[in-house]
Structure 1
């Protein structure tokens, strides 16, 4: 008479391992958060001391807190996933999960952003920013050819003035460097 013995869990067939990984796919996000936390902490703790410290908190404080928070969230999420927690599926009423992604729109937006990156050093932020805002609006479906460029120019100029003049973050002005 033969007795059946239970196979050890580490001797699962490949289908069983794939099934377990599929059921615990959130562990990939946990690993990504842990890697990001380690990178942020490593960068914060190896930061040069040539930064000027003003007050009791140095430049390493915020990156250290962010790195620790990333590691803490990764650990808590891992524990939750291993205990059986699962992420909720999207249930928004305006989202059709069966509709495929519109890669044409995504690629056109990527082209607008790349165009901005190329032009910003040549024509300056006010012009490249206006082209960025107008291009993004056009790609996302707005076709008003009189209103959209005016709003894009106003947004770009306002952003330039706020960052360059009020916040002291220098942006390339291009031909408008002396005007604004």
Structure 2
């Protein structure tokens, strides 16, 4: 049996592990840095075939998100190296002895999958309204007089903003000529 020897004395190995353990948040910084570089690389090399309708084009949001990730990674790294530490989570307001609410999970999954299937034939305004209304119902809201109206309004506003103002084409379905 062979044993490996290292040039670092055991005391220094312990110090290195201790330093890394005390600065473990640097791993999050590295992850944010890699994600920021990836998002910026994809955004800047994006081939855009659509004519830009205004000052905000399809590359704007990814560039802002990528730059934000890089800034946050740098600020977090500086804070960690200066001795800042994240506080341990005190726990959430949940009772771990209670079983999972699979009914809500399955309802939300069904609503999401249903809207994904219905978005092409019905269009975003109708499928989006069903998505918003179904999600509100699955999460416990039972206001039948109010929820469908809020869902329809939210879906229509989302459709108009994305389709007409931002230039992101969404399927309109039967409402294509109306909006």
Q: Same fold (TM over 0.5)?
A: yes
Number of the residue aligned with 2:150: 151
TM-score, length of structure 2 as denominator length = 0.66
> 2:12 is matched with which residue: 5, 9, 12?
9
1:81-96 superposed matches below 5 A? 81-89=80-88, 96=93
Query: Which TM-score applies when normalising by structure 1?
Result: 0.65
Q: Does residue 115 in structure 1 map to residue 96 in structure 2?
A: no
**Alpha-carbon distance in structure 2 between the residues aligned to 1:9 and 1:130:** 61
Cα offsets for 1:72-94 (capped at 9, x unmatched): 432332232244311235679xx
Structure 2 spans left out of the alignment, 5+ residues: 1-8
Local SS of the residue matching 1:77: helix
The worse-fitting range, judged by mean Cα deviation, of 42-51 and 122-131 is 42-51
Tell me the residue number matched to 2:95: 99
Q: 1:122 to 1:48 in 2, by over 3 A?
A: closer
Q: What does 1:1-180 align with in structure 2 at a 5 Å threshold?
A: 7-10=10-13, 12=14, 17=17, 23-48=22-47, 67-89=66-88, 96=93, 99-100=95-96, 104=102, 105-106=104-105, 108-165=107-164, 167-180=166-179
What residue in structure 2 maps to residue 3 of structure 1? none
Q: Aligned partners of 1:59, 1:166: CA distance in 2, in Å?
A: 12
Task: Provide, for residues 50-91 of structure 1, a one-character-per-residue CA deviation record: whole Å limited to 9, x for no partner.
Answer: 78789xxx9878756654553343233223224431123567
Distance 1:119 1:28, change over 3 A: farther
Give the drift of 1:128.
0.5
Between the aligned partners of 2:44 and 2:166, the Cα distance in structure 1 is 28
User: Structure 1, unaligned stretches of length 5 or more?
Assistant: 1-5
